[in-house]
Amino acid sequence: MLPTRSLRGRAGRRRLALALACALSLWPLLSQAHPHGWVDVSVRVQVDERGRVEALQQRWRLDPLYSLLLLEELQAAEGEAPMEARLDQLGVEIRHNLAPQHYFTHVTQGGETVALGEVEHLTTLARDGRVELMFRLPLAEPLALGQGPMRYRIYDPTYYLEVLHEAEGDTPRPDALVVTGADCQTRIIAADPDPTRVAEAARLDRDAQAPEGLGRFFAETGEVRCDPP
């Protein structure tokens, strides 16, 4: 069983993340493994000359333990392709599996969903013992912020995988959410799940199928407010 203590702490919530391999369905050898895993994410919001949000440039860093497992499986795969090529193929698989869900990214303004485009410029690499994914996720149309701030959340709906902004301890790092191209204010709002949701997650066995949508209750919220150009 999973720990029953509160999930409000960042370390406690990370221990409740389930089965990164199952969530991403990256490789047949990994799809039967169920390591607990998380992602440290940083977001660069790109704003055009008219002060409209164009895209979210994201970097995902998989946790060290799962990165080690994944790199070992890539190395053991048949064939003579170098690791760089294997990582590129991994990126193709990730894009195939997560593109329909827009990479777990949900953007809103004034409570209304903002449509997203197709992922661009995906790069997969190994650095400092961790697998990193970097990609640009454009909005379907540039978003003017005159009607209010833009907010986003990045989460796995089934909570197999937990996504948290880069942090030092429990405090998000200054570079976890930045804006390029405009003078804007940003903040990262911690999740505050209802106790019933905390209990629901705590009751899940390691191999259990979490209810669809559970992950959103544990997702941090990024917010961007920009002054008119």
Tokens at residue 75, please? 């190395």
Q: Give CA separation, 171 vs 5, 32, 64, in Å.
A: 21, 34, 20
- CA–CA distance, 103 with 126 (Å, rounded to integer): 19
- 119-177: per-residue pLDDT in tens? 988 899 899 989 999 999 999 999 998 888 999 999 988 777 888 999 988 888 999 99
- pLDDT beyond 60 at 25: no
- At 77, the pLDDT band (50, 70, 90 cuts) reads confident
Task: Return all residues near 96 (Cβ < 8 A) that are at least 6 apart.
Answer: none
Q: Where are the domains of the chain?
A: 10-226
Percentage of the chain surpassing pLDDT 90? 34
CA atoms of 173 and 111, how far apart (whole Å): 26
End-to-end CA distance of the chain: 53
Q: Where are the alpha helices (DSSP H) in the chain?
A: 10-15, 20-24, 64-76, 83-98, 195-202
Residue 139: the pLDDT is: 96
pLDDT of 72 higher than 70 = yes
Tally of residues, the chain? 229
For residue range 192-219, list pLDDT tens digits in order.
Answer: 877 776 666 666 655 555 556 777 778 8
pLDDT for res 60: 95
Nearest to 191 by CA among 66, 3, 14: 14
Q: What percent of the chain has pLDDT over 70?
A: 76
